[in-house]
Homo-oligomer: A and B are copies of this chain.
Amino acid sequence: MTIQSSTSERAILEAAEREFMSKGYDGAKTQSIAKTAGVTHAMLHYYFRTKENLFNQVFKEKTGIMMQSIISAFQDTKGSFIERLQKGIEAHFDFLAQNPDLPRFVINELISKPERAELLKERVKDVAGNIAGKLQKEMKELIAACEINDIKIIDLLLDIASLNLFVFIAFPIVKNFSGFFYKSDKEFLEARKKETTQIIINRLLNKQYAV
């Protein structure tokens, strides 16, 4: 009947992950986490000492995954710029589909306690170095050669982020309406993925209208 340390610790972490992700830091209660994990709540403090500590461990892991997903999505080097961009958007969307509450969690916690940005500074640098640098250079060349429309890299990335992330950030709400137009969540999300790539490529390749 005895439970080994590593098992308890892991159980707590997993329960914490679910609780923090679904309720946020303030909404999560250590007692509830301990209960879900099947241990006394003293165990939680034994392993992690404070709620903040436990949270930070979860937060760090989640932001790490999120940053890594961006690098993975855009690291392919085969094909044209547009082809790679499309593949990247789709890969990132697929990642989000498997981690749908990640963006809302990270954004909320980052905003409610901005100091937490410290915990992912390194990862942000990774992404900036890995993606933004190369991307910017390539885009400048293509823009100069008139192969894609003029656009600042931050605007392109924000367009993609907005379109890819928003559906998931607001999914429980959006879901109420998608049912009128799509048979299933899956079909709806597939359509969103396609729509996002479509709209981004149109932005880059078609002639621009004065706005």
Contacts and interface: CB of A to CB of B under 8 A. Distances in A.
Contacts of A155: 191-192, 195
A167 interface: yes
Contacts of A107: 104, 169-170, 173
B203 A173 contact: no
A108 B111 contact: no
> How would you classify the secondary structure of chain A's contact residues: helix, strand, loop or mixed?
helix
Interface residues of A, number: 53
Nearest to A113: B27
Contacts of A42: none
Contacts of A23: 26, 112
Please indicate which of the listed interface residues A114, A153, A173 has the most CB atoms of chain B within 10 Å of its own CB: A173
Contacts of A178: 154
Contacts of A200: 199
Interface in A153-185: 153-155, 158-159, 161-163, 165-167, 169-170, 172-174, 176-178, 180-181
